[in-house]
Amino acid sequence: MLVDVVERVTSATDGTINPRSLGDYLHLEVGALSRLAHINRNTLTRNPTSSKVQEALRPVVEILSIATELTASQGKAVAWFLHQPLVDFDFKTPQELVTDGEAEAVKAHLRMLAHGVYG
């Protein structure tokens, strides 16, 4: 499952994350993806392979990969990311947390879930 997410959002030629593909995968427009990644929308579209863009998008792909592995479904992982309020985070969704700069906390939460720790 992990490879499927990465394959769907990365370029086959150079392995970089394609912002347009990631936006399509999440059903997000460029503006929403740019807010999620804290990258200016113009930078996101004009220089998608820059290290700044790639570093900003990498945590989102990592979160989606882990969530897909845990749910065994790409659709469920995307729905979880976009819509599931997390009790331990004041009922914010993973998307809101990443937008707030808390991608590492979301990844830690997923790692705990993967190891059977809830809460």
Confidence band, pLDDT 50/70/90 cuts, at residue 115: confident
How far apart are alpha carbons 49 and 44 in whole angstroms? Answer: 9
Note the pLDDT tens digit of each residue in 2-60: 558 889 999 989 999 999 999 999 999 999 999 999 999 999 999 999 999 999 999 99
> Residue 117 region, left (φ>0) first, then alpha (ψ -120 to 50), else beta?
beta
pLDDT in tens, 60-113: 999 999 999 999 999 999 999 999 999 999 999 999 999 999 999 999 999 999
Residue 23 resides in a domain: yes
The pLDDT, as a whole number, for residue 1 is: 42
In a domain, 98, yes or no: yes
How many folded domains does the chain comprise?
1
Q: Which domain holds residue 85?
A: 2-114
Give domain status of residue 26, yes or no: yes
Q: What is the Cα–Cα distance from 39 to 74, expressed in whole angstroms?
A: 25
**119 lies in a domain?**
no
pLDDT band at 119 (very low <50, low <70, confident <90, very high): low
Residue 94 in any domain: the answer is: yes
Is 116's pLDDT higher than 90?
A: no
The answer to the question of residue 39 being in a domain is yes
